[in-house]
Amino acid sequence: MRALFQNLFFAVLVCVALGANAAEPAFRPRVIISSDFPPTNVIPVKAFTNGVTPPAQCSDPDDVQSMVRFLVYANEFDVEGLIASAGSFANVANKTNILNMLDLYEQVYPNLVQHDAKFPTAAKLRSITWQGRDGAWGTPKVGTDAKQLEKILGEGKDSEASEAIIKVVDKPDSRPVWICVWGGSREVAQAIWKVQKTRSPDELQKFLGKLRVYLIVKQDSTTDWLLDNFPNLFVILTEKNYLGMFYQMYQSDPKLGDLAWINANVRVGHRPLGAVYPTTSWDLKHQGVEEGDTPSFLYLVSAVRGLNDPEKPDQESWGGKFVQPDKNKKHWFDDPAGTQSVFKWRADVQKDFAERMNWCVTNNLK
């Protein structure tokens, strides 16, 4: 009898926890992450490898950092896709890297889902993980050389990822699709190129109207192609202010993201997902949070919380603040306020992240 009451009590706790998040927020974004994702055992590119480390393993670990954070916020979104684009230094695309990450997510999922039933299963995320094409990031004279653009965009350049983007946008869902681009924009550009070539001008505009693209830096030559040819495409491009995520950013509080912080709040005692969080990015001298890609989805996280309207990038948000130099173009760029537009929220952002990481290891329900 005692066991029966204990089971009933636990069931009530689970129901209360799930019910706490039962009400849908006013804003629930459809999201695709396009990442130049390295292996989970990535070696920072500046590390001495003695000529033994496979080139594809020697890359930038910051995408792994960002993916750990994204996965513990996956309940906030309708995740529509995870794209493996060309790696930042190895310059290869390998969706197996993302699939391996999802194996770690699967191990903490039973705890996460007790806090919110809307966390997607690892199986669901695996089913929407897509392969991009190699050889885009690091193209010589990025964004300026038309010959280089022809090598990565156009006829015969479709991929599993670019085809999937089209299918997602074409779904009978009136909500826009937010694509967070952590690497090159090649897969997004190829999807748009194909729609432009195969549909009417009105159909193209309808397709573009459902896209919201947040780009972290111009990482291949398709970004300028998008900006030059599609004034009605909603684009946020950060080329500097994203650096506000770096723990060591000037005038920010480094103790909220240094090695001691990530060890205590992420890496140590937080199950396999936390343990895989790298201590650094591509440069070993900086040990701490180097999540340059994270502002792309923090912009949406703060919108879910009602801090900002995502359709108005000139508002402050966890992902920065932006300006629209040409009112005839839906293109937004870094606000002159600089990196502080991101790091000013660090205390709130890191507190929230630490709580999410605790969800990975505890059954204590709200």
CB atoms closer than 10 angstroms to residue 67? 28
pLDDT digits (tens, 9 = 90+) for 43-71: 887 665 556 667 788 788 999 999 999 99
Q: In what order do the strands lie in the sheet with 177-181?
A: 129-131, 78-84, 30-35, 177-181, 211-216, 234-238, 331-334, 322-323
Is residue 80 domain-resident? Answer: yes
**Where do we find the tokens 């937004």?**
332
**Based on the structure, what is the number of domains in the chain?**
1
Is residue 45 domain-resident? Answer: yes
* pLDDT attached to residue 365: 52
Residue 110 sits in a domain whose CATH number is 3.90.245.10
The amino acid sitting at 170 is D
pLDDT digits (tens, 9 = 90+) for 289-342: 999 999 999 999 999 999 999 999 999 999 999 999 999 999 999 999 999 999
Is residue 364 domain-resident? Answer: no
Q: Is the pTM here over 0.85, yes or no?
A: yes
Cα 224 to Cα 135, 145, 256, distances in angstroms: 17, 10, 35
| DSSP β-ladder status, 58-59 and 43-44 | parallel
Is residue 88 domain-resident? Answer: yes
Is residue 366 domain-resident? Answer: no
| DSSP β-ladder status, 78-84 and 58-59 | unpaired
CA distance 116 to 135: 39
Is residue 243 domain-resident? Answer: yes
Is residue 311 domain-resident? Answer: yes
Structural domain span for residue 98: 2-359
